[in-house]
């Protein structure tokens, strides 16, 4: 995975159709998810070249620099969660300059734990699968990568399996009543719609998977 900056670029800066993400979020959240994520990732896109020039000596340093931008510029709850995800990824990758399938799987498992730790500090417990959060997409994705590492799958295959698992996990949140955060206060109004964060994660990993076909 020595082309990770360009691949990550393609995945992160895909057109999310921000209105649709905010519309999804409006059924259970504040309806600002799309715009909140957009602020952080647009700023990250502006600073991308500078980060690559100054902080891309290792994957860990690069991801940590990304996390700082996202935490500062993403609005609402998105900043701590998505920024925290990048921070956890940076700690897991450390001084590595290339990632094997096993290392990428370990990184994703660390991100799961990192996001859950943020939830524990904010709500008294971290989100689990079934709470209708991005964890519903992230955990299946991370587990698919861990399984690919055990099976000796190629990076391309691991990305495809991980993306499929994330999309499926996000889709399954349609049938879940939200139980965490702002979404947890609206009850059955959240039924019938996927969690916006889980959906976004599925989109990102799908685009990352597509970038490996080029």
Task: Report residue 2's pLDDT band, with 50, 70 and 90 as the boundaries.
Answer: very low
Expressed in angstroms, the distance from the first to the final Cα of the chain is: 14
Does some domain include residue 8?
yes
Is 175 a residue whose pLDDT tops 80?
A: yes
Does some domain include residue 29?
yes
Residue 48: enclosing H or E segment and its boundaries? Answer: helix 33-55
Does some domain include residue 71?
yes
Does some domain include residue 214?
no
DSSP 9-42: HHHHTS---HHHHHHHHHTTS-S-HHHHHHHHHH
CATH number for 140:
1.25.40.340
The chain-wide mean pLDDT, for the chain, equals 83
Nearest 5°: phi and psi at 79? -60, -55
Does some domain include residue 64?
yes
User: Which pairs from 158-161 meet CB under 8 Å and 24+ separation?
Assistant: 158/101, 158/104, 158/105, 159/205, 159/208, 159/209, 159/212, 160/209
Does some domain include residue 125?
yes
Task: Report residue 52's pLDDT band, with 50, 70 and 90 as the boundaries.
Answer: confident
Other CB atoms within a 10 A radius of the CB of residue 91 amount to: 16
Which residue reads 């991100």 in tokens? Answer: 111
Could you tell me the pTM of the whole model?
A: 0.84
Does some domain include residue 107?
yes
Summarize pLDDT for 85-98 with one digit per residue, the tens. 999 999 999 999 88
The residue segments making up the domain with residue 121 are: 4-209
Task: Work out how many domains the chain is built from and give that number.
Answer: 1
Does some domain include residue 93?
yes
Which residue reads 């609402």 in tokens? Answer: 76
């Amino acid at each position: 995975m020595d082309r990770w900056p360009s691949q990550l670029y393609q995945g992160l800066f895909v057109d999310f159709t921000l209105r649709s993400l905010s519309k999804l979020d409006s059924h259970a959240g504040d309806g600002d998810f799309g715009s909140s994520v957009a602020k952080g990732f647009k700023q990250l896109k502006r600073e991308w070249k500078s980060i690559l020039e100054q902080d891309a000596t290792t994957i860990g340093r690069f991801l940590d620099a990304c996390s700082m931008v996202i935490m500062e510029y993403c609005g609402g709850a998105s900043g701590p969660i998505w920024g925290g995800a990048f921070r956890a990824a940076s700690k897991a990758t450390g001084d590595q300059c290339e990632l094997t399938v096993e290392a990428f799987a370990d990184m994703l498992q660390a991100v799961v734990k990192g996001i859950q730790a943020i939830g524990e500090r904010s709500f008294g417990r971290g989100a689990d699968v079934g709470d209708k959060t991005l964890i519903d997409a992230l955990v299946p994705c991370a587990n698919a990568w861990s399984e690919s590492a055990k099976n000796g799958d190629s990076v391309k295959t691991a990305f495809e399996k991980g993306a499929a698992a994330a999309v499926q996990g996000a889709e399954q949140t349609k049938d879940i009543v939200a139980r965490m955060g702002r979404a947890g206060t609206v009850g059955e109004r959240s039924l019938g719609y996927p969690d916006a964060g889980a959906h976004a994660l599925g989109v990102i990993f799908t685009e990352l998977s597509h970038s490996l076909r080029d």
